[in-house]
Chains A and B, each alone.
Chain A
């Protein structure tokens, strides 16, 4: 079974500080994608960053970076220089590469940014 676990229902960070959101997953696949999605209060889910499992290098997108530990099946998101606009629900997601295109989502972490 493929599952995605986010153990932090809520997190908060001071503006301009750094915060790390945790995600672990369970799979027997060796090739897959991992994603972090952001869902602001307006509800539209947008992709923040993705990681391909065969790549050892951690993905980075501006202030967002990941720490991908394949052996530990861990995929954390680091947000640097936090901004008020970063406040949202963040979902970790997994997708096997081989077939089907099905995505599996975690339960989300609600991030509050304190001015």
Chain B
């Protein structure tokens, strides 16, 4: 079974530039998460999708961050314009839909390390 795929693995941009990250979840996983992990901290949920609908985006800085999952499979996360404090690893994860057996298991991708200079 293929895992969660993310690209790119690394990205360096200057502040005020834009950047996009891509995530392909495990096949059949209805729930997809984007996390921001700042160095030395635990992952912080930015947005959670169930199929192509948003379940929770309360911690997404909507003035500069956006995310979509148009067909309920792949997802993209965009930052525009980037700030220095956006430097972090952006993790994508997926799980089965709520109330499905083993829906509590969350699988992570390798992450994208973003450096904003």
Report the nearest B residue to A104, measured CB to CB: B45
B117 CB → nearest A CB, Å: 20
- The number of residues on chain B lying at the interface, defined by a beta carbon within 8 Å of a beta carbon of chain A, is 27
Which of A42, A99, A100, A105 meets B43, CB within 8 Å? A105
Q: Are B91 and A99 in contact (CB under 8 A)?
A: no
Q: Are B41 and A103 in contact (CB under 8 A)?
A: no
A64 interface residue per 8 A CB criterion: no
In whole angstroms, what is the CA distance A46 to B106 when docked?
9
In whole angstroms, what is the CA distance A95 to B110 when docked?
22
Which of A42, A101, A107 meets B55, CB within 8 Å? A101
Q: Are A33 and B104 in contact (CB under 8 A)?
A: yes
- The number of residues on chain A lying at the interface, defined by a beta carbon within 8 Å of a beta carbon of chain B, is 24
Q: Are A43 and B113 in contact (CB under 8 A)?
A: yes
A56 interface residue per 8 A CB criterion: no
Q: Are A100 and B111 in contact (CB under 8 A)?
A: no
B24 interface residue per 8 A CB criterion: no
In whole angstroms, what is the CA distance A108 to B40 when docked?
8
Q: Are A45 and B108 in contact (CB under 8 A)?
A: yes
In whole angstroms, what is the CA distance A95 to B41 when docked?
18
B56 interface residue per 8 A CB criterion: yes
Q: Are B42 and A105 in contact (CB under 8 A)?
A: yes
Chain B residues in contact with chain A, CB under 8 A?
31, 33, 40-45, 48, 50, 55-56, 89, 91, 93, 95, 97-98, 103-106, 108-111, 113
Since A97-B104, A102-B48 are in contact, a sample of 20 more A-B pairs with Cβ atoms closer than 8 Å, ordered by chain A residue number, is: A43-B89, A43-B110, A44-B108, A44-B109, A44-B110, A45-B43, A45-B91, A45-B108, A47-B106, A95-B104, A100-B56, A101-B31, A101-B48, A101-B55, A101-B104, A102-B45, A107-B41, A107-B42, A108-B40, A108-B41
